[in-house]
Amino acid sequence: MSALDRSAAVPLYHQIFLQLRDEILSGQRAFGSALGTEKEVSHAYAVSRITARRALAELAQHRFVARKRRVGTTVVYRPPVKPIEANMDQAVDSLIHFGRATRVRILTLKQEEANAWVAETMGLPAGEKILRAVRIRYLNSEPLGYIVSYVPVTLSKYVTRAALAHTPILKVIKNAGYQLGKASQTVAAMLADPLLSRSLAVEPRSAILRVTRLVFDATGSPLLLTVAHYRSDRYQLRLDLQH
């Protein structure tokens, strides 16, 4: 259970709603499981029973739970579709397939000065120009990910709006004759800020999966930096382990 931010503008009951909703969406609270009584929820979050009641009522309103007298609150949410998976062991092929299986809307594609973090990560001089692409990926007409990618400006003639509209960016780079080498990837959890809330059609402070990926060419030079923010209820990463 996460701590509540008692100084935030978001009401406590809604913070509890968001936390419980994310636990339901992530599968931590499975279909048919008991959520607890108003008394138990109020004790767990150190809030009044009125606050707990409002949080549970909001969950019921959004059809995540059902509430019955003398029975309690039960999770009734079932995922409408299986979350899309990306296989970390077969990163390049998996990412290209992922791009083909989804639809993309391009928000921004332009050259700009790399900020300090991008320049440092990609080994560029301060103030170096970079090509920045911002896209939203959709799965079954629902927003899935808000994705920002950076590539050297030398790729500008290949990484175009027309190309990105139909082809994953890694495939565009490969088609341009570049040989992909190693890649590094980090995964972290965060809460949706206003921009991500609007772009991904989620509540503010919803759980978001942030995947940062740096792809190098065969000579070891950084070729592509991507920061992708995915809805945690619609995207997951799988890592296959072998002895």
Q: What is the CATH number of the domain that holds 60?
A: 1.10.10.10
- Over residues 41-47, the mean pLDDT reads 91
Range of the domain at 104: 84-238
Q: How far apart are CA 216 and CA 80, in angstroms?
A: 37
Instruction: Say if CB 90 and CB 38 are below 8 A apart.
Output: no
Distances (CA, A) of 83 to 77, 191, 210, 235: 15, 19, 16, 5
Residues 189 and 211 placed together within one structural domain of the fold: yes
Q: How far apart are CA 225 and CA 210, in angstroms?
A: 13
Confidence tier at 88 by pLDDT (50, 70, 90):
very low
Residues 67 and 94 placed together within one structural domain of the fold: no
Residues 119 and 203 placed together within one structural domain of the fold: yes
Q: What is the pLDDT of residue 90?
A: 47
Give yes or no for residue 2 having a pLDDT over 60: no
For the chain, what percent of residues have pLDDT higher than 90? 38
Residues 32 and 90 placed together within one structural domain of the fold: no
Residues 127 and 232 placed together within one structural domain of the fold: yes
Confidence tier at 56 by pLDDT (50, 70, 90):
very high
SS3 (DSSP) at 232: coil
Q: Exposed (0-12), middle (13-18) or buried (19+): which is 168, by Cβ within 10 Å?
A: buried
Residues 136 and 25 placed together within one structural domain of the fold: no
Instruction: Say if CB 111 and CB 152 are below 8 A apart.
Output: no
Q: How many separate domains does the chain show?
A: 2
